[in-house]
Amino acid sequence: MTKMEDEKTAQYTQIHKFFRKALEVSFDTVVMLFLFFILYLTLYSIYLNFKLTYKVSDPKLLIANILVTIILIETYRILIIYLRQHRVSISHILEVEIVALVQKLIVASNFKELDALKLFAVGGLLFILGYL
């Protein structure tokens, strides 16, 4: 650094750069731990999908487990993108949200008991999330 650039730099700002870098590295480590955990959950979910395929008594359970696997894979992809770019697009998060909503509807709902207003509300929510 030249003397002119050294004078423009405020005092004690190097400590902020050090803490920022340390926090960034520690947060990346936490994200990598999440990645390994999600990878384990994804592999276990795929194993359960194969196991359920041969013993399926309720197809709703198999479809719900497949959707959970898709949610885990999408979450894994979001974390990889974050590690590469240190930012995440909202469209990736909305994709996971839509799949999670559909999974919740399939598992928790009995469509025979839903009235028209609730069905329109769910359809509107899906439309709004899809539009975003």
pLDDT tens for 10-32 read: 566 666 788 888 888 898 899 99
pTM: 0.69
**HEC readout, 74-130:** HHHHHHHHHHHHCCCCHHHHHHHHHHHHHHHHHHHCCCCCCCHHHHHHHHHHHHHHH
Q: Would residue 65 count as lying in a domain? A: yes
Q: Would residue 2 count as lying in a domain? A: no
9 confidence band (pLDDT: 50, 70, 90): low
pLDDT digits (tens, 9 = 90+) for 82-126: 888 888 888 888 888 878 877 777 777 666 676 777 778 777 877
Q: Would residue 117 count as lying in a domain? A: yes
Q: Would residue 103 count as lying in a domain? A: yes
What single DSSP character describes residue 4? Answer: H
Q: Would residue 54 count as lying in a domain? A: yes
pLDDT at 102: 77
User: What range defines the domain where residue 119 resides?
Assistant: 17-131
Question: How many structural domains does the chain have?
Answer: 1
Q: Would residue 93 count as lying in a domain? A: yes
CA distances 108 to 23, 57, 102, 103, Å, are 40, 17, 10, 8
